[in-house]
Each structure stands twice: as C-alpha cells, then as structure tokens.
Amino acid sequence: MIIKGGFIIDPTRKIDGDAGDVAIKDGKIVDKVSSSATVIDAKGKIVMAGGVDVHSHVAGPKVNAGRLMRPEDKFISGVCRSGIAQKNGYRMESGFSIPSVFKTGYDYARMGYTFVMEAAMPPLLAPHVHEEIHDTPIIDEAALPVFANNWFVMEYLKAGEVENTAAYIAWLLKATKGYGVKLVNPGGTAAWAWGLNCLNLNDTVPYFGITPAEIIKGLIEANEYLGLPHSIHLHQNNLGNPGNYPDTIAALKLAEGVKTNNKFGREQVLHSTHLQFHSYGGEGWKDFCSKAKEVMDYVNKQKNITIDLGCVTLDETTTMTADGPFEHHLHGLNHLKWTNVDVEMETAAGVVPYIYDKNVLPNAIQWATGLELALFAKDMNRTFITTDHPNAGPFTRYPRVIKWLMSKKAREATLATMKNTDKVINATYIHGIDRELTLYEIAQMTRSGPAKCLGLGNTYGGLAPGMNGDVGIFDINYKNMPSDVEKIETAFQRAAYFIKNGEVIVKDGEVVSHGHKKTVWVKVKMPENLQVTRDVSQAFSQGTYTVDIRNYPVREYLAPHQSVIDVNVEA
Amino acid sequence: MATVTLKPTKVPELIFEGYSINPDAFANKSAAEIAALPGHEGKIHVTIGDFFEVSGNGGETAADTDIVIAGDCTRVKYIGARMTAGTVTLNGNADMYVGGWMKGGKLHVKGNVDSFCGIQMEGGELIVDGDAKNHVGCAYRGDWRGMKGGTIRIKGSAGNDIGTFMLGGTIIIEKNAFIHVSTHAEGGTVIIKGDVEGRVGGQMVKGDMYVLGEIKYMMPGYQKVDTVEKDVDGIKAKFDHYIGDLGERHTKSKGQIVYANLYLKVAA
C-alpha cells in the first residue's frame, strides 16, 4: 500500500509538512513498495502516524460500574441501530462518557488512534480488564496495574527493600499481563480504609507507617531497577483540591537526580498524569485559581519528567478513579449518585457522575488550567493531550482540545460564552496567552511523545521505515490552514483514512473493518526472589486474599492476541 | 389549523416505535411525506405508512398541526414524545413513552397508557382518560433530572414510581396509585385523589404532595406539623400537613429549612 502526496507530519524524523509518500508492506512502514501496490490519495491532506493515548480509562470494573450506574449516559447519545452499521455488520454503539467497548474502539479509530493505555487496572480484577480489552475492537491496548496502595509494596518499601519491590512488580506484571507501574493517590487510597486520606506527601499511612513520598521514591527506584519500558505513572495525592500545586511540585521533585535505566528509548523516570487536576491555587473554592504557570515552570526545567494534561472539556461526564477518598469527597460536593469499592489488599475505586458547567466558576477555571499547561510547555514531546477519559471529559473531545490549543480565537470564543468571563480571566492565565500550537506540536503531543514515554517509540508514534503501518490521514490542508477553526475539530474527529498495520480501518470517517487488535504487556525475566515468592504464596494460602493463587493470574484465553515485550534483568 | 388523521391499518408484530408521530415532525409535510417518516419495529427500519393510513397535510408549524389517531395504538410507543406545540388526540390505548420529554402542546389519550408516560416532561398538557401503568412523569432510568414542568392528568389509576426525581410541574392521578410517589423529588406537585399503598415521598427534598384518599403505609420520615384548609384541584377540604423526608438533606431558605410537604386529607 502506498499513501501518496500527503503533507507528512512526523516528529520522529523531524518532518513537518513535506509532501511525500508513505509505503506500507506486511503491516510495517517500508521505504518503497512495488508499482502494483494499492494507492491511497492523500493529496491536500495531512498524514500522521496513528495516535497514542497515554492515559484513558476504557476497560475494567470501574468503567463497567459506571456503565451500570448510568443508563442515562447511553440515552444522551446512543447511536443505536444506525443504518450504515447494520449494513456492514458492525455492533451497536452506545454511551457518551462511558461508551460501550465497541464505541470505544470505533471512536478511537475514527480519530486515527492506534494505541490506548488503560490507566488503572486493579490486579485482582485483571481478568475482567483483559476480557474487556479483548472485546474492544481495533485499537491496541495495554493496562497499568496499580501499585501504590498495595500492601506488599508498602511493606517492602517501609523496610527499604527496593529489590523485593521490583521482584513483586515483576511477578504482578506477569500475573496480570500488565504494562507498567501505576500509582494512584499513593498511600491515600489505603488510608481510606481507615476513613483517612493522605493529602500531603509526608502524611503517614495508618498501620503501614510509610509516607506517600517514600512510596513514590521507592517505586521510581524499583521501576528503574527493572528497566521497564514505561516509567512510573503517577496520579498524585491531593487531587482536585484548591491550593494543591505546591504538593504537586514537591512530588515532581522526587524525580530530581534520578537517571533512567532502560533499553526502550524512554528518557523520563516519572510520568505525572492529568496534571490539570493538580495545578490549583487558592485557599478554597472562593479564591480558586490556576497555577499552571508555576507548575510548568518546574516541569520545563526538569528533563526527566513527562506529563499529560487531563483537560476539562466542559461536558457532562462520569468520574472514575482508584482514588477512593476523592470520589467520596466529590459525591459530598455534588450529591449525585456514587459508588465506591475496596479491592482487598490492593486498591479501591469510586464512580460519581459530574457536570463540568462552563458557567460554574471553578469548572471554567479548570478548563483554562488544562489548556494553559500545554500552552506553557516548552517541550511538546514531554506534554501529552489527554482528558483523563472520562474524568475531565470523554476522549472523543480530543479534537476539541486540539482546536482550543491551535487557536486563540477558539479559546476566546469559548471564554466569551461563559457566565463569569471576567472572573475566569482574573483567576487564570489563558486570556493573556497568544500561543497557538502547530500541527507538528500536536503530532508530538499525540504521537511521538506518548509513544516514547511508554517505551514504544520504535514501533508506534512515527512513520519511519520499520515502524507499525499505522497511519491517520486528516482532511486539513497544511499549506492552506482552514480559517474556520471548527474544521480542525471535524477533521480530527473523523479521519479521512485510518490505516492500522497496513489495513484500511476507517474511510471517510466511517469504520470499515474491525482490524486486528493486540494486547501489549511486559514480561520481566529475572532470577527468582525466594522471599517474594514465599510472601506471595503465604498471602494466598493464609487466606489474606479471597481467591486461590491458581485463580489469580490472567488466563491465556482472556488475552488471545498478545504482543509481549520482554525485559531481561541480569542477575 | 390543519388536521392529520392516522388510521391504524395493521397491528405491528413487535412494537412500532412511533417516534415520528408528533406535530413537530408532521409540520410542513404532505400526507405522503408523513407516511414516509421513519420508525422502527425491533431492529428493522419501517415507516408510519406501514402501519397507518395517513390523510390530511400538516400545518405550517407544529402549533398549526393537529393529529388525530383514529384507532388503537396499544402496540405503538413514543406517541407525541418530544412535541413542542400542536395537539395529538388518540382515540384508543397507547404503549410506553406517550408524551415523554414533551415541551408544549396538548396530548389527549382517550384510552389507557403503558409505562413512562410524560417522562422528563418540560411543558404542555398530557391527559389520559383511562389508567396509566408505572413511571408516570418520572425521570429516565438512572437520570436525576425528572419532570420540570407541564401537567399530567390521569383520570384513572396509576402504578408505581410517580414523579420520581420531579423538579416542577403537576401530576394529577384521579383514582388510586400504588407505591413510590415523588421519590427523590426536588419540586413539583403530585395530587392523588384516591388511595396510595405506600412509600409516599421517600428521600424527597422539596415539593408538594396531596393525597385525598388513604395512605396504607406511611413513610417513617414524615412528621405531622399542623392541619390546614386547602383547595386542591377544585376540591376544598381539611388536610393534615406533614413535612419530610426527615432522613434526607434539605436546603435552607431565609434561615428556614425547606422540607417537602405531604397534605393528607382528614378523614370525614
């Protein structure tokens, strides 16, 4: 297959809008193909690699809890029984903030995304996560098990045993077919079992006597000891509260001086996710304000951290996180329906619907904060577009976020429709920022950057020969950018073409194939750690877990299309 | 004013989803165009013309369009749903979702209706001469934003879950009701002229309820405060005034806690 004449945007090779061809053979990008290859005409359109989403909640028990809890979410935007889908034999799509698995796969494909990271997998419930991943068509997926409130991890780290922690991580990644180390409100979620939280990095976790700072620091060390493709992936403490930005910077500082150790081209040791929720000033909701500049001033200096935005999109959505105490707190604020669960010795989660209303001052400030983070960023290869789907907004709003980032006019237009425009301007930086991101920068934030951050930079996120034949073609003329910014949003919402592994998946914005999805996970090979083996087997045999160890791991049949990344840790 | 008459010609094998049967969809259309409007029978795309004989053209706007359905629609859903103006008169029974999400106009069913009539209604008038099943004027499943305005009058009896999550508007049940009246409501008025089994006003935050018959099982969260004289839908009587639900959160207005009110007619 050859994609001809498009404006290629590929930050991995520093190509910015040069007209050229992209050739794909046997699912991979190649230098050239024979003259008999299928030709796809991309003239007048931009050509990018398939998108990579670094953080999105798309599969697993809490997503399903959200679906069960919110039938009305399907009512709002159910694309039921569409004529085209019926004709082509595709499955019904439903849901807006918590779309069905089919809609999730189709919508990502329509936006030209090829890889999505499920951002929080409770290890005990990993079989469900994998079943749901398998049921989501088209997109390649991986999942990050949560570690930061795990009893084993807290006990090993309290005793300063980084090697044991690493061995436990290796065991758990294998058992759950996980990808990397996710931290959610380190210590805080565990503290909630005592009705408490850890808002500050130096709060002590009850019973375990460890602090969030020690957990973060310890997991960074364990992660680099193993040399995993991805760094630790941190959802910080004190999420969503006014005045939390000093805590955010304090946590980022824990990465100072730590060097990466990996063979996957990753440069960071800490990925701080949905930073928008962690960049607030003010004493309370009355003087709530954005501190995006302060946070980004630090991030810009510190080369070994990456961030994603977590942009508020001003929609009615469903929040869901392993940050149990936060969800309880949120329910107290908006009185909407709420569910929380505890996952034995590992983690917890909660779900609460939330309406981000542009006329509610704090919501409007949150909207501005998310965009400001990107606009203050100096290195777009370390700054990624997310909405923490579905927490700050559904992933289907990425094109709208791109529009806001690429156009001051679009930002001002949204700002002008708010009830408290002046107050929003006073509490944020957005009105004074003239920067408009380029398509090249957008490609860094959605393609090359996140792929590199996940240690997948040699297969995803670029169009160099040898990489996956995943290509998005969008109907935007690079040389003649549309004066109507709405067209940017429409073009990114529905790709002219999306090609995955050399197969046309989307044509003219409609899904035409279910493709061949893969589940990616990381298998660590290291010498057996007898201490950890004994601790784990004891936890199961002594009844600390409610399941038998034989029923704990994800069975092979639950993840039928695996792509395994091997990591070898020398003895 | 233009009148469009629909005469049922065939009983659907499954249920006909008549979401196009409302003055807004009929306005500005000829009889032939109306017959071609879409609907669903199960997963199959069908048209109004597959089940009805259409005569008469629609008016210029919805307000100028009157729809008369001359026959039974026991197996037709969504009649008059989302209508904003005009009238619909149905000489027979209807299935679910009659007048759901209705914003204006007048909808008159001369027979019985199934569940979910007038759900999340925002305005207009819905009259049912017969009985209604469950979920009269309630919120959509899972939703916490129920009926906001308009009037529903059921001349017969109704089932359970009346006015769940109601925020405004009026529901009148002229005969009896079963259980769950105004559950979670934060406004609006429900009048039940007959008897109610129980669970009246559970978790209700704000709003009014009138029961002119008996409540078999009273909610424990209600407390009698006084006896007042009231004129309710043309009936003047003495009512015991209860406030509640005392187990639920309540807002304050001018320093006073706002409770939901239950007025129970004093037995003669």
Q: Is the peptide bond before A390 cis (omega within 30 degrees of 0)?
A: yes
Percent of chain A with pLDDT over 70: 98
Q: Are strands B106-109 and B125-128 parallel, antiparallel or unpaired?
A: parallel
Chain A residues touching residue B143 (CB < 8 angstroms): 72, 75
Predicted confidence at residue B1, as pLDDT, reads 84
Largest CA distance in chain B: 61
**Measured on CA atoms in the order A550, A553, A559, A560, is the torsion positive or negative?**
negative
| Residue in the block written with tokens 């699912």 | A27
Chain A residues touching residue B142 (CB < 8 angstroms): 69-73, 75
Confidence of residue A79 (pLDDT cuts 50, 70, 90): low
The distance of Cα A183 from the centroid of its chain, to the nearest Å, equals 13
Please tell me the distance from the alpha carbon of residue B266 to that of residue B238, in angstroms, as a whole number: 6
| Residue in the block written with tokens 């949560």 | A146
Chain A residues touching residue B140 (CB < 8 angstroms): 71-72, 75
Predicted confidence at residue A191, as pLDDT, reads 93
Chain A residues touching residue B40 (CB < 8 angstroms): 81
Half-sphere exposure of A210 (CA within 13 A, CB side): 27
Measure CB to CB from residue A71 to each of B45, B142, B249 and give the nearest one. Answer: B142
Q: What is the pLDDT of residues A383-440, one digit of tens each?
A: 999 999 999 999 999 999 999 999 999 999 999 999 999 999 999 999 999 999 999 9
Measure in Å the smallest separation between the Cα of B187 and chain A Cα atoms. Answer: 16
Confidence of residue A33 (pLDDT cuts 50, 70, 90): very high
Q: Do A81 and B143 touch (CB under 8 A)?
A: no
Secondary structure in 3-state letters for A483-550: CCCHHHHHHHHCCCEEEECCEEEEECCEECCCCCCCEEEEEEECCCCHHHHHHHHHHHHCCCCCCCHH
Q: Do B249 and A335 touch (CB under 8 A)?
A: yes
Chain A's closest residue to B144, CA to CA, is: A336
Q: Do A71 and B45 touch (CB under 8 A)?
A: no
Is A89 in CB contact (< 8 Å) with chain B? no
Measure CB to CB from residue A72 to each of B43, B141, B249 and give the nearest one. Answer: B141
Residue A331 in this model has a pLDDT that exceeds 60? yes
Measure in Å the smallest separation between the Cα of A176 and chain B Cα atoms. Answer: 33
CA distances to A54, A75, A93, A164, A258 from A102, rounded to whole Å, are 20, 16, 6, 40, 41
With beta carbons less than 8 A apart as the criterion, state whether A269 and A260 touch. Answer: yes
Q: Chain B neighbours among A 337-396 (CB < 8 Å)?
A: 337
Residue A53 in this model has a pLDDT that exceeds 70? yes
Is A79 in CB contact (< 8 Å) with chain B? no
The radius of gyration of chain A's CA atoms, rounded to the nearest angstrom, is 22
Q: Are strands B65-69 and B52-55 parallel, antiparallel or unpaired?
A: unpaired
Half-sphere exposure of A188 (CA within 13 A, CB side): 28
Residue A197, phi then psi, degrees to nearest 5: -145, 165
Which one, of A224, A171, A236, A231, lies nearest residue A199 by Cα?
A236
Predicted confidence at residue A82, as pLDDT, reads 59
Q: Do B43 and A86 touch (CB under 8 A)?
A: yes
A172 vs A342, residue with greater confidence: A172
Is B140 in CB contact (< 8 Å) with chain A? yes
pLDDT, chain A, mean: 94
Q: Are strands A316-321 and A347-355 parallel, antiparallel or unpaired?
A: antiparallel
Measure CB to CB from residue B140 to each of A69, A72, A86 and give the nearest one. Answer: A72
With beta carbons less than 8 A apart as the criterion, state whether B56 and B3 touch. Answer: yes
Is B236 in CB contact (< 8 Å) with chain A? no
**Domain assignment of residue B198, given as a range:** 115-265
Chain A's closest residue to B120, CA to CA, is: A72
Q: Do A72 and B142 touch (CB under 8 A)?
A: yes
Predicted confidence at residue A86, as pLDDT, reads 66
Predicted confidence at residue A480, as pLDDT, reads 86
Confidence of residue A81 (pLDDT cuts 50, 70, 90): low
User: Residue A27, by phi and psi: left (phi above 0), alpha (psi -120 to 50) or beta?
Assistant: left
Residue A83 in this model has a pLDDT that exceeds 70? no
The distance of Cα A536 from the centroid of its chain, to the nearest Å, equals 29
In a domain, B54, yes or no: no
Chain B residues touching residue A335 (CB < 8 angstroms): 249
Q: What is the pLDDT of residues A439-452, one digit of tens each?
A: 999 999 999 999 99
Measure CB to CB from residue B43 to each of A69, A71, A81 and give the nearest one. Answer: A81
Please tell me the distance from the alpha carbon of residue A183 to that of residue A187, in angstroms, as a whole number: 9
Which one, of A96, A105, A128, lies nearest residue A53 by Cα?
A105
Predicted confidence at residue A571, as pLDDT, reads 62
- What CATH topology corresponds to A108-458? TIM Barrel (3.20.20)
In a domain, B75, yes or no: no
Is A261 in CB contact (< 8 Å) with chain B? no
Residue A418, burial from CB neighbour count under 10 angstroms (0-12, 13-18, 19+): buried
Instruction: Reduce the DSSP state of residue A165 to 3 states and report it.
Output: helix
Q: Do A75 and B140 touch (CB under 8 A)?
A: yes
Which one, of A375, A364, A493, lies nearest residue A445 by Cα?
A375
The residues of chain B scoring below 70 in pLDDT are none
Domain count, chain B: 1
Considering the entire predicted model, what is its pTM? 0.93
Largest CA distance in chain A: 69
Question: At CA A132, angle to CA A128 and CA A138, rounded to 5?
Answer: 155
Q: What is the pLDDT of residues A177-210, one digit of tens each?
A: 999 999 999 999 999 889 899 999 999 999 999 9
Please tell me the distance from the alpha carbon of residue A279 to that of residue A428, in angstroms, as a whole number: 11
Please tell me the distance from the alpha carbon of residue A125 to that of residue A193, in angstroms, as a whole number: 19
Q: Are strands B206-211 and B186-192 parallel, antiparallel or unpaired?
A: parallel
In a domain, B97, yes or no: no
ipTM of this predicted structure:
0.85
A129 vs A510, residue with greater confidence: A129
Is B38 in CB contact (< 8 Å) with chain A? no
Q: Do A83 and B45 touch (CB under 8 A)?
A: yes
Contacts of A89 (CB under 8 A, 6+ apart): none
In a domain, B202, yes or no: yes
Local structure of residue A445 (DSSP, 8 states): I
Is A87 in CB contact (< 8 Å) with chain B? no
Q: Do B140 and A81 touch (CB under 8 A)?
A: no
Chain B residues touching residue A69 (CB < 8 angstroms): 142
Chain A residues touching residue B141 (CB < 8 angstroms): 71-72, 75
Which of A67, A75, A96 to mutate to probe the B interface, most B CBs <10 Å?
Answer: A75
Local structure of residue A553 (DSSP, 8 states): S
Q: What is the pLDDT of residues A457-513, one digit of tens each?
A: 999 999 999 999 999 999 999 998 888 899 999 999 999 999 999 999 999 998 889
Which of B17, B143, B145 to mutate to probe the A interface, most A CBs <10 Å?
Answer: B143
Which of A74, A80, A81, A96 to mutate to probe the B interface, most B CBs <10 Å?
Answer: A81
The H-assigned helical ranges of A140-244 are 151-158, 162-176, 188-191, 212-226
Q: Do B141 and A83 touch (CB under 8 A)?
A: no
Please tell me the distance from the alpha carbon of residue B260 to that of residue B242, in angstroms, as a whole number: 8
Please tell me the distance from the alpha carbon of residue A393 to that of residue A386, in angstroms, as a whole number: 9
Is A70 in CB contact (< 8 Å) with chain B? yes
Q: What is the pLDDT of residues A87-106, one digit of tens each?
A: 667 788 889 999 999 999 99
With beta carbons less than 8 A apart as the criterion, state whether B239 and B226 touch. Answer: no
Q: Do B142 and A69 touch (CB under 8 A)?
A: yes
Structure tokens at A221: 């060390």
Q: What is the pLDDT of residues A365-383, one digit of tens each?
A: 999 999 999 999 999 999 9
Chain A residues touching residue B45 (CB < 8 angstroms): 83
Is B43 in CB contact (< 8 Å) with chain A? yes
Chain A's closest residue to B44, CA to CA, is: A81
Is B141 in CB contact (< 8 Å) with chain A? yes
Confidence of residue A341 (pLDDT cuts 50, 70, 90): confident
Confidence of residue A342 (pLDDT cuts 50, 70, 90): confident
Which of A67, A68, A69, A72 to mutate to probe the B interface, most B CBs <10 Å?
Answer: A72
Is A334 in CB contact (< 8 Å) with chain B? no
Domain boundaries, chain A: 108-458
Secondary structure in 3-state letters for chain B: CEEEEEEECCCCCCCEECCCCCHHHHCCCCHHHHHCCEEEECCEEEEHHHCEEEECCCCCCHHHEEEEECCCECCEECCCCCCCCCEEEECCCECCCCCCCCCCCEEEECCCECCCCCCCCCCCEEEECCCECCCCCCCCCCCCCCCCCCEEEECCCECCCECCCCCCCEEEECCCEEEEECCCCEEEEEEECCCEEEEECCCCCEEEEEECCCEEECCCCCEEEEEEEEEECCEEEEEEEEEECCCCCCCEECCEECCEEEEEECCC
Chain B's closest residue to A334, CA to CA, is: B144
Is A86 in CB contact (< 8 Å) with chain B? yes
Go through A370-382 and write b for each residue having 16 or more CB atoms within 10 A of its CB, e for each that does not.
Answer: bbbbbbbbeebbb
Which residues on neighbouring strands pair with residue B209, listed in sequence order? B190, B262
Residue A80 in this model has a pLDDT that exceeds 60? no
Residue A76 in this model has a pLDDT that exceeds 80? no
With beta carbons less than 8 A apart as the criterion, state whether B247 and B221 touch. Answer: yes
Residue A257 in this model has a pLDDT that exceeds 90? yes
Measure CB to CB from residue B144 to each of A75, A83, A336 and give the nearest one. Answer: A336
Q: Is the peptide bond before B195 cis (omega within 30 degrees of 0)?
A: no
In a domain, B243, yes or no: yes
Chain A residues touching residue B144 (CB < 8 angstroms): 336-337
Q: How many CB pairs under 8 A join A and B?
A: 21
Which of B119, B141, B251 to mutate to probe the A interface, most A CBs <10 Å?
Answer: B141
With beta carbons less than 8 A apart as the criterion, state whether A311 and A300 touch. Answer: no
